[in-house]
Structure formats: structure tokens, C-alpha cells
Structure 1
Amino acid sequence: MELFVSANDAKLVRDAGRDVFPAGVGSDTLSLIDLDAEPSAVLATVDVRTSIVGPPQAVALSPDARWAAVAAPTSYDRDAQALVFHEILQVVRLGEADPAVEVIELGSHPQAVAFTPDGGRLLVTTVSGEVIVFAVTGERVEQRQSVAVSSGRLAGIGVQPDGSAAIVSLRDEQGAVVLDLTGADVTVRPERLATGVSPYVVDTDAAGRWAVIGNVGWGGKARQGGQSVADVDLVTLVDTTQVPFRSVDHAAVPSIPEGVAISPDGRWVVALCMAGSQIGRDRPGHSDTGRLVLFANDNGRLRRVDELPTGAAAQGVVFSRDSRRIVAQLYADRCLAVYRIDADALIDTGVRIDVPGGPASLRRN
């Protein structure tokens, strides 16, 4: 089985760059998906709270697939016509006929979540600049530590495959930090990694050689004034074979690479970009479609090899374990799309996995 979890936002509809909140849409959900089923199948659907507002790493699946964590919780206040941002983490106990959802108060709005490879820890980034560390033991998920990382918002997180370190993106301060996970307590290493503007999603390969960081640019700072006009943004490649880790290349991509992933074998990097589909039709830079861009990793240099149009307001993207298939969340189309790499070409397989809402966050176990 090739298991994924997708967190789906039912309440917010992206319509040609506009945010619409229709009535009677039902609950946000978590979907557990088996990519290897014929056809690919949704194994379970659980009601949760989540949102497109935040990095598309606001969901995680434990290595043994017993637990899922869901962050970026919001609801819509129809009277105030505003999103309400909640300060809770939701932990879902999978493997039951009726999966149970435990709600944990955090005191800050959570962003990205990630389990360590041994399944013993759950790391949660927050908008208050803290990483909250949970211990996962037997039948319990318990908060153990809060690590001050930044004075601004944090975004994505990627954990090294040996569990020794994690990279956390500093959305407001810029750059990324490295957390040391080798001790009983999580600590912050002194070095910073260079990134583009508004670093967002972080992903790591399976060999501990490379990591990649997506940078969403001025669009990630729109609430601080000004408007994005679909300027190009950057993807950052990080060499993790040496300590301190080092950013070794940056590659230009269409605007707002919401989802970025590196293949488990480290050979490929993919960016799922809004490319102007997040902008209204009456504004400069609008596009009806997003773009999926594929790079080859030539031993530390990113070489663009192919690009395809894809759905509007696309979100998370991940590779399959064999490094040949790519699963992308097409938010406006309310489905996951499956692509594959054939030589140096991206191929749309035509496989679509429907989910009950706009797919907003995606992870593989």
C-alpha cells in the first residue's frame, strides 16, 4: 500500500482568484488514500477543521499509519464574513471503524506538522514562532516541549530520514533554521539557511542528502500591504550531507510554488505553482491554470526539464516511494491528480482521486 493523507477545506472556494464561502458545503475532512489500489481509493474520511490558508504541510501521517495530525484549523463566521483561526491541533486515531479525533489546545495557531521517522515525536510549527513537540507513545500523544524559534510566523517543516534534524522555514524572518533532534530535548542549531522571500514548504529525500524549500515570495506577505502580480519565485536546494547544512542552488519558478517536493532518491524536484491562477481575472498576471514544473537535481544544481499546466489554486505535492509518480492537489477541481516521470518528461496519467472539498494539505507516511 502507498498511503497518503489529504486535508480538505470544504468551506472556501477559489473562483478565478476570488475567495467564496458558499452555504451548506459540509465539514472539512481528512482523507486516507491508497495510491496503489486499482483504482486509487479513499480508504477513510474523517471530519476535521483545516484550511487552504497556510502551508500545504498541515497534515501528517505516522510511519505506522496509526495516527494522523491535522493543523491550520479554521471556521467561517458567516455573520462577520470572516475566517476564524483556531489554536488547536487535531490528532486522528486511524485503523478504527469510526476513527476518533482528539482536539489538543495549543495557545497558538498551528501550521505544518511532521512525525519523526521512528514515529516517536510529532513536531508542530506555529504562527507565534514556536515549534511544539509531542511525544507519541503507545496510545497517547502528549505535549512535551515548546521551542522558541522565531519572533515571526513559521511555516513548513521537513525531517531528516534518520531523525537527527528538522528544517523549519521562517516565513516572516526569512531563511530557515535547523532543529537538532538527537537529544532528549529539541534544540535550535545556530546556523541559518539562505532562502528566497517567504520560505514555505520544506521537503527531504530518503537518503539524507538533499532538502528543498519552496519560497512563495511577495504573495506570502500580501497581508502586510501590496498585491502580487505573479512575479516569479524561487525553489531552494539544500545539501544536508554536511553540518552545517548549506543552500547550494536556487531555481526560478512561476509565482507561488505552493507545493514543492524532492523525490525519495533525490534525483527530481517538483514545484506545484499557482502561476497567476490565484489572481482575479481583472488583475495583471492572471492565469486560468497553475503550472507543475519538474527539475533534475544534477548533484546540487537544479535543471528544468519539463512543465505542464495544471489546476487552479493547486496546493500540496508529493512523490511516491519509487520516485516515479507525483501526486498533486488541485484545489479548485476538488481532486488529487497523478503524474509520472518518463525519461525527462512529465506525463499526466489521467488518474484523478476525488475528495470532499478543496484539497489543501498533503503528506505521505
Structure 2
Amino acid sequence: MTTEDGTQGPRRAGEPPSGNPGREAMAQTEQVLGDLPLERLFAKARDEGLWVSSAPAEAVQEAAPEVKRIPVGVRPHSVAVSPDGTRLYVTNFGDSSVSVIDAYGEAVVASHPVGESPYGVAVSPDGTDLYVAATGPGTVTQYSISGDDLVQDGSILSADDHSKRPYGMAVGPDGRVYVTLALSDTVLVTDRFLKNPTSIPDIDFPVAVAVSKDNARVYATNYFSKSVSVIDASGKAALAKISVGNEPYGVAVSPDGTRLYVAHFPGTGSVSVVDIAGQTVVSTIPVGDGPRGVAVSPDGTRLYVTNFFADSLSVVTL
């Protein structure tokens, strides 16, 4: 389906792929391989030397040094930070676990099994609940946080009720949960108990999502259109797209709302720094191999990036 401006919009049910070569190739590959999650396809292509990495953006200066690289689980996908900044939570796609990291000690202090092939992860504003999106069963699960333990006594949202394959996640300051449903070109919004879902439609293959601290804006990476959608959180409609370069995946917004941090996967091991007001990439940050998920510490001094192919988490000083 083509929009008035000539770009490819979301497909209707039963409509063939949009004409985007990347989407068509992925759709055909998944049909042949039995609907495997996107990460398995990337890993298979990488291991067999079939994937050619590309630069994330035009030439800009590098900024912000990596100060630490923390080993985590297998094929880490996303990262979330507790509201007090003391704990990091990393979903490990390869071994279906969540690593709990002491942010100050910079070491894994616990690991917990979760649903098969976990992608997104987010923490509630009060730090009492963790949400994990697992693409294997197609669910989002709410866990209670008890020290460094996770207790599955909360709600479970089945993606079968809306669309398959939850990807990225975020929780807004008001407790609303945002889940990207990339194959449906949709961002799903629920309350903190994963109930009363509504949808933000017409977001081009959103794979990750972030919410501003003032709860006014939602940002979703558009993987195949090399951009980030800027969404009005109250009106639940896209306002603009910011061009950020090839393969944008994970996204985080700075606490002061002036910067976006966008990981490019597979990319060339870097994160783009985006000036939101100017809607431009102003610098890049070198990290590990296959940057995926991105999170910023509550005080805005640290950036955390999962390195999918290096089984590690980069810690960057901002």
C-alpha cells in the first residue's frame, strides 16, 4: 500500500509484501524457515558470512568513550535500568534468560529463566515490576522484583490477541506499557497490568520504543526505513520521522529529552546520537559487535548497550 507521499504504508490483511526489498526478503526467508525470530535469521546469516555490515550514518565525529564491557548471557537483546539506577536488566535471546547486573559493581549478580527467545524488557516507574517480551510464546509477562529475584505472579499478555511477535518494550512515567509489534506496523499500549490494550497504528516496522520523561513523546525505530518515528503520546499518532541511517534498532531518550541514542544492528558497532530539536545525527559512539538494546541511566551520565554478537554489555560515559 502506497501513501500519498509515495512511501510504503502498512499492509492490509492478506496483502503481499510492501515492495521494500528488506521486508520482502525477510518475509520469504521466514516462510521457508518456519517463521523463525528475526534474531535467529541475523545470527545464521552472520555465522555463515552472508551478512554485510553497513555504516549507520553519514560521517560524524565520534563521542563518549566506552569504559567497561560486562559479560552477560548468550545473544543479549535489550537492556533496562531500574529507576534508582542501581540495577540493569538484560534479556538474553540465546539462552532465554534475564541477567540482573549491579550497575555500580558492573557485574552480573543473578540470572533468571524467562520465556523462550526474550526480546524487550522494561521496568515500572516505581521499580517493583519487570516486563519481558518473549517471541517464542508470543507473550509479554509481568514479574515482581524482589531484591535480585524475579517472581512471575503478574499478568501475561498474549500477542495472539492482537498480533504475533512482540519486539521492543518501554514503560512511561504514568505506568503505561508500550510494546512494538513490528510485523503489524503497530505499537501496542496497555496499562501497567497489561490490560485494556489500545494501538498506535501505521508505524513502519517498529522494533524498539522509548518514552520521554515528561510522558509527551514516544519514539519508535523504523528498521527498514532508516528512521525513528516521533509519536504524540496523548494523541497516539506519529508526528514526524527522523532519519538516522541504516538498520536502526534499539532506542533510548536522554532524561532531559534533548537526545536520542539509536543502536544500529548489525551495523558497524556504533550508536548514533540524535539531536531531537534539530532532528539530526550529531555524533556516533563506538561500542561492541552487533549493538542491539540501549538504555540511559536516570542521571544521564551512563549509556548501556547490549552487544548481540559479543555476549556483552557496553558501559559508556556520557
Whether TM exceeds 0.5 here: the answer is yes
* Correspondence for 2:29: none
After TM superposition, give the deviation of residue 313 of structure 1 in Å: 4.1
SS in structure 1 of the partner of residue 155 of structure 2:
strand
2:169, 2:210 within 8 Å by CA — same for their partners in 1? yes
Instruction: Look up the SS of the partner of 1:124 in the other structure.
Output: strand
Structure 2: how far apart are the matches of 1:237 and 1:195?
A: 10
- Cα gap change, 1:272 to 1:99, in 2 (>3 Å): closer
TM-score by length of structure 1 reads 0.57
Distance in 2, matches of 1:155 and 1:63, equals: 22
Q: Does 1:129 align with 2:141?
A: no
Deviation at 1:214, TM superposition (A): 0.7
Q: Distance in 2 between matches of 1:188 and 1:361?
A: 36
Pick the structure with more strand per residue: 1
| Structure exhibiting the larger radius of gyration computed from Cα positions | 1
Does structure 2 retain, via aligned residues, the 8 Å contact 1:61–1:363?
no
CA distance in 1 between counterparts of 2:128 and 2:254 reads: 24
Structure (1 or 2) with the greater helix fraction: 2
SS of the residue corresponding to residue 266 of structure 1 reads coil
2:244–2:280 contact (8 Å) kept in structure 1: no
The residue matched to 1:187 in structure 2 has which SS? coil
Structure with bigger RCO (C-alpha 8 Å, 6+ apart)? 2
Q: Secondary structure at the match of 1:264?
A: coil
Partner in structure 2 of residue 49 of structure 1: 73
Q: 1:157 aligns with which of 157, 169, 184?
A: 169
**Sequence identity of aligned pairs in percent?**
21
| Per-residue deviation, 1:204 | 1.5
Match of 1:60 among 80, 95, 104: 80
Residue 292 (structure 1) aligns with: 272
Distance 1:361 1:116, change over 3 A: farther
Instruction: Say if 2:233 is the partner of 1:237.
Output: no
Is the CA contact (8 Å cut-off) linking 1:94 and 1:100 kept in structure 2?
A: no
Give the whole-Å Cα distance in 2 for the aligned partners of 1:270 and 1:96.
24
Aligned length: 257
Aligned AA (1:234): S
Q: Deviations over 1:73-123 (max 9, x none)?
A: 42xxxxxxxxxxx444444678899964243353x3211111111011100
Structure 2 CA distance for partners of 1:136 and 1:20, relative to 1, 3 Å: same
Tell me what 2:254 maps to.
263
**Superposition CA RMSD, Å:** 4.2
User: Does the 8 Å contact 2:72/2:313 carry over to 1?
Assistant: no
Local SS of the residue matching 2:246: coil
Alignment partner, residue 3 of structure 1? none
* Counterpart Cα distance in 2 of 1:310 and 1:102: 27
- Segments of 5+ residues of structure 1 without an aligned counterpart are 1-13, 22-35, 75-85, 218-231, 279-287, 335-356
C-alpha distance in 2 between matches for 1:146 and 1:305: 37
Aligned AA (1:238): I
Q: TM-score scaled to structure 2, two decimals?
A: 0.64
Long gaps (5+) in structure 2 = 1-41, 50-63
The answer on whether the counterparts of 2:66 and 2:315 sit within 8 Å (CA) in structure 1 is no
1:51–1:72 CA contact under 8 A, matched in 2: yes
Corresponding position: 1:118 with 2:109? no
Q: Deviations over 1:126-160 (max 9, x none)?
A: 11321100112456421122112344211111111
